[in-house]
Each structure stands twice: as C-alpha cells, then as structure tokens.
Amino acid sequence: MHQDAELIARCQRADASAFDAIVARYKTKIYHYLYRMTGNAEDADDLTQEVFIRMYTNIGKFRAEASLSTWLFRIAGNLAVDRFRRTKNSRRLVTSLDAPIQPGEEEASRDVPDMSMAPEVLVSRRELAGQIESALAKLPPKLRSAVILFDVEGMSYDEIAGVEGIPLGTVKSRIFNARVALRDSLRPYLETE
Amino acid sequence: METKLNTCPNAEQTIVGYIDGNLATADHIAFERHMASCSVCRTIERELRMTQTLVRTLSSAEPRQDFEARLAARIADVKLKPSPWWMRFALPSYVKPARRTHVAIPVVAMASVVASLGFAYVSRVPTVKAGAVQTAAASDETTVLSELANQHHAASASQSLGDTSGVVVVASDMATGGSW
C-alpha cells in the first residue's frame, strides 16, 4: 500500500516508469477479475486496457481516499457493468465446452488446475470448469462481482465494500446469495461428494 | 431438495462469516453450538463451503503478452486526441484534464473580464465636463460659425447655380482672418 502511494505520487509528477510499474503490478489481477466477470478473453483484455487508460487520464484526481487497488477494481467493475448494459449479450458470458476452439483462443484458456475435490469425482476438469463458469455467468453482475472479488481475488469484506461502494452487511448478503445460487446450479457436482 | 434458511432468519450473514472465517470468536462458538442442533444450517454450511471450494478451483487467467505494447499505443491515441483550446495550457499533458481545467477556467474567466473592460473603455461615451473658459470659447465659436454660414447662404443665393466659389472665398477668408 505504501508502495502504491509512492507510485501514484510519482505518476502525478508525470513519471512514466511509475505508471508502468502500476500496470505491471495490477494487470493480471484486473484482467482475471474482468475475465471472470465477462467470461470472455477479448472483452476482458479490452476492458483491462480501458481501466489503465482511465487511470492514466484521471490520475490527477486521485486523492488516496481509497487504495489504488480499490480504485482500479471499482473502475473495472463499472466498466464491466457498462459493457453488460450496452451489449446485453449474456450468451457471450457462457463458454460452451462443446464449441470448437476459435482461432486465437488457446486451448489452455479453458483448462483448470487440479481440483481439491475428492478423487472419486467422475467429471472431467474441463467440464466442471465449464459448469462453474456457466453458473457464474447466470448470476446477476452484482452478486457475481462480490463472489469473484472474495473467492477468486481474495479480497476482504471491507475491501469489497470499498470497491462496490456498499455497506459491509450488503457484501455478506451478496456473497451469501451468490453462493446459494451457485450451489443450486452446481448441485449435481456437490452431491457427488 | 432445496435447503432454505426459513427457520433461521439471522443465519444468512452468520453462515457466510463462519465459512469465510470472519466471525468474532464468541459468535463463532455460538454458531457452532447452533449448528449442532440445527440440521438446516448444518446442511447449508456444508453445501456453501463445497460451492466455495468449486469456485476457487477456477484457473487464473493472464492477459496477452503484448498487453503493455497495445496499452502504450492506446494511450498515445488518447494523448493525440485534441482537447478544447482553453485546456491547452502549459501543464504537463500527463496530468491533464483535471488540473488543466482547474487552472484554465479561472484564466479564461479573467481574460474575459479584462477583454470586456477593455472594450467598454474603448467604446465609452466622453463624459468630461467642460470648464467655464471652454464653454465660453465654444459659445463664441458657435456664434462665429453661425454668422459665417448665414453669410455663405446669402452669397450663394445671389449666385448662379453651379458656382461654388463662395465656399472657397469663405474658407480663404477664415484662414486669413479677414471678412468679406
């Protein structure tokens, strides 16, 4: 955090290397969040770039009332919601595992690491990952964002409250409701436990 | 079968806090005690914990290798985009637009005030009061001019049309101070 403050101060003094350092530090986190929010590598890439462009053009306004991380994720969340509203193209949020690999799409992007589930779970890793992504895509963006920020990005409730601009109790409710909805979508995979 | 929290209205946030390890010690112990006697909360806690485990198995995603190069190109485009003339003041482009606006607005406002005052000064109606000597002189001058004009009209009337020598005579007489 201290390092972030220093980088921001340098950025505000037009130090380009500080801007590069911020990009290097946050690009993967922001991209990952947006990839899970949009379910689409192309949109995630485009929106991640947009996040840093917004940061670049607005760095003079930044007054360190929030952490840099909170600020960047807030921009990312707003951009993702704007993108949903504009495109209203929810089918793009779901990646069909049966669909052929598109040119430019890497096979590895649909891959998942080893599961921590019991070994007797008789479902391929790819299928399970696809089901989880589908279940996430069905969630309303607000619930999806909360659960991704906590379970995927590893943020605390307080940090999520800062990113979303909502009270702590609302954060807990959204995470709870998101998990209940995910549980309902993924029930066949839970019951194999 | 759907498991709901109908019987435990306050359990929603408690279960989430319990699963995520965000309960105070006393609340944690109290909830464990509650779950020991509540099969609904016990089932929900187990299912949601498994759901969380599933979500956490998702692999991380990385942006493309050329991310920085493409970002630099897009930022260069942003820099080249023309901004309003009044924002183009000598501040570093890196910290535009907010700070520029903060400086530009007062500068433009002040320039407008100065321009308005200048215009008002240039196009003002003279309001200087004449002194007694100036008034007397002006009065004498008016009388002389009036007499000269009358003489000119009288002379012109006695001449044939097209003869403009009267004008010349009056002018030359005025210049030499003589009378005619």
| pLDDT per position as a tens digit, A121-152 | 555 778 888 999 999 999 999 999 999 999 99
Q: What is the CB-side half-sphere exposure of residue B97 using CA atoms within 13 A?
A: 13
Beta-carbon separation of B61 and A116 below 8 A: no
Look-up of token digits 């929106």: A47
Q: What φ, ψ does residue A186 adopt, rounded to 5°?
A: -105, 15
Domain that holds residue B146: 133-176
Asked if residue B36 belongs to a domain, the reply is yes
Asked if residue B69 belongs to a domain, the reply is no
Are the CB atoms for B170 and B148 separated by under 8 Å? yes
Are the CB atoms for A136 and A144 separated by under 8 Å? yes
Q: Which CATH class is domain A1-93?
A: mainly alpha
Beta-carbon separation of A151 and B16 below 8 A: no
Interval A35-61 mean pLDDT:
93
* Helix, coil or strand: residue A18: helix
Sign of CA dihedral A123, A41, A180, B35: positive
Of A61, A132, A186, the CB nearest to B58: A132
Every domain range in chain A assigned CATH 1.10.1740.10: 1-93
Every domain range in chain A assigned CATH 1.10.10.10: 111-193
Beta-carbon pairs below 8 A across chains A and B: 128
- Do residues B119 and B149 both lie within one domain? no
Residue A190 touches chain B, beta carbons under 8 Å? yes
**C-alpha distance from residue A121 to each of A98, A105, A125, B32, B135 (Å):** 20, 28, 10, 29, 115
Are the CB atoms for A109 and B61 separated by under 8 Å? yes
Residue A26 touches chain B, beta carbons under 8 Å? no
Asked if residue B89 belongs to a domain, the reply is yes
Give pLDDT, residue B113: 83
**C-alpha distance from residue A28 to each of A14, A55, A82, B35 (Å):** 24, 16, 21, 39
Asked if residue B109 belongs to a domain, the reply is yes
Fill in the DSSP letter of residue A132: H
Write out chain A residues lying below 8 Å of B65, CB-based: none
Domain count, chain B: 3
Asked if residue B64 belongs to a domain, the reply is no
Interval B146-161 mean pLDDT:
60
Give pLDDT, residue B125: 56
Identity of the residue numbered B90: A
How confident is the model over B68-109, as pLDDT tens digits? 999 999 988 877 665 555 444 444 444 444 455 555 566 667
Sign of CA dihedral A10, A12, A17, A21: positive
Rounded CA-CA distance B170/B15 in Å is 115
> How many Cβ atoms are within 10 Å of A184's Cβ, its own excluded?
15
Over A159-191, what HEC string results?
A: HHHHHHCCCHHHHHHHHHHHHHHHHHHCHHHHC
DSSP B79-123: HHS---GGG-SSS-GGGTTHHHHHHHHHHHHHHHHHHHHHHHHHT
For domain A111-193, the CATH architecture is Orthogonal Bundle (1.10)
Asked if residue B48 belongs to a domain, the reply is yes
Query: Of A144, A128, A130, which Cα lies nearest the Cα of A188?
Result: A128
* Helix, coil or strand: residue B141: helix
- Do residues B51 and B18 both lie within one domain? yes
Give pLDDT, residue B63: 92
Residue A85 touches chain B, beta carbons under 8 Å? no
Mean pLDDT value across chain B: 69
Are the CB atoms for A54 and B75 separated by under 8 Å? no
Q: Which of A51-65, A156-170, B86-100, B145-159 has the lowest mean pLDDT?
A: B86-100
How confident is the model over B104-139, as pLDDT tens digits? 566 667 888 888 888 787 776 554 454 454 555 555
Asked if residue B150 belongs to a domain, the reply is yes
Chain A interface mutation, best of B20, B52, B81, B94, highest count of A Cβ atoms under 10 Å = B94
How confident is the model over A77-121, as pLDDT tens digits? 999 999 888 877 554 555 544 455 544 444 444 444 444 455 555
Check if the interface score ipTM surpasses 0.90. Answer: no
